[in-house]
Amino acid sequence: MRFPFRFLLRHAWQRVFLAFVLFIVPDAHAAEVEIITSFSILADLARQIGGGRVSVHTLVEPGQDAHAYEPRPSDARRIKRAGLVVLNGLGFDDWLPRLARASGYQEKLVVASDGIHPLAMHGEGGNGEHEMRIDPHAWQDVANTRIYAANIAAALIAADPAGAETYRANTTRYRAALDALDDDIRAAIASLPQKRRRVVSSHDAFGYFARAYGLTFLAPVGAAGHSNPGARDVARLIEQLRNEKAHAVFIETILDPRLIERIRIESGAAMGGTLYSDALSPPDGPAPTYIAMMRHNLGTLMVALATHSH
């Protein structure tokens, strides 16, 4: 392609001027706070609260599994430069504090889940023995996400006091949107008969959702490394799908698609659709923000639970 402003480059000094303009303009809009988050849901929350004053980078990208994340050398370099690092906590992203310490990061580590009422979950240890652990997927209850938003807002106000008014206004607006979301989920689930509220999903990510909104999730694939469940987990899931009176089985986006296909074929179960548990979709997908994700999941659940029978 021909450069359309060729005439600008006729003289050397103009060339210098053009280079100067191109270099300086992006910098005029530099963010006040550079935020690093462990995974995509926190990145969205940070953007909602931070608005135009922040730039946000998530280490685990949309569609990726944070449980199994292996940090890259470039992550440590990014964290060292960051103004704020936000993680989930509850054992979800323990690799991040380790990475932050190793990188020489000096600022605050914000644990977004601080102050929530944690839920215990059944799991399996490395040797397959049964153990109790804390369920890290607290954002699946919208009331918890209000706490996440408040924690992120407090950290931003501390890191960038000049933006306090903006952060408070954004938080107020976002809380109203969360309240509306919470109301809509409650109203939808309440419209289902009790016997239609049993669901099988591919991993234990919906404990908080179940507790808050009154669904039962049967999820035999354990929370540890669930994007690569063992053969025994998969066999048990297929067995359960054949035996349980579950209305529908849902698959999560972070699970290996070949595994999903195998479960579908061997169980013969009706597939309720895809739920987003631990990661947003890319921007052009159905769940590019937290609120869009929760609304997508609710819509998928409602269609399947209102129509499938066994």
Q: Which residues form the interface with Zn ion (CB under 5 A)?
A: 205, 278
Shortest distance, position 273 Cβ to Zn ion, whole Å: 18
| Cβ proximity to Zn ion, 82 vs 263, nearer residue | 263
Shortest distance, position 127 Cβ to Zn ion, whole Å: 21
Shortest distance, position 156 Cβ to Zn ion, whole Å: 26
Residue 251 Cα distances to 102, 247, 301, angstroms: 36, 14, 11
Closest listed residue to residue 39, CA positions, set 57, 19, 12, 15 = 57
| Cβ proximity to Zn ion, 82 vs 87, nearer residue | 87
The residue assigned the tokens 């914000």 is: 110
The residue assigned the tokens 């931003």 is: 156
| Cβ proximity to Zn ion, 51 vs 123, nearer residue | 123
Shortest distance, position 205 Cβ to Zn ion, whole Å: 5
- Give me the sheet containing 84-87, strands edge to edge: 54-60, 33-39, 84-87, 109-111
The residue assigned the tokens 């933006």 is: 163
Locate 121 and state its tokens: 């979950």
Residue 171 Cα distances to 135, 168, 175, 247, angstroms: 26, 5, 6, 38
Shortest distance, position 285 Cβ to Zn ion, whole Å: 18
| Cβ proximity to Zn ion, 54 vs 66, nearer residue | 66
| Cβ proximity to Zn ion, 44 vs 278, nearer residue | 278
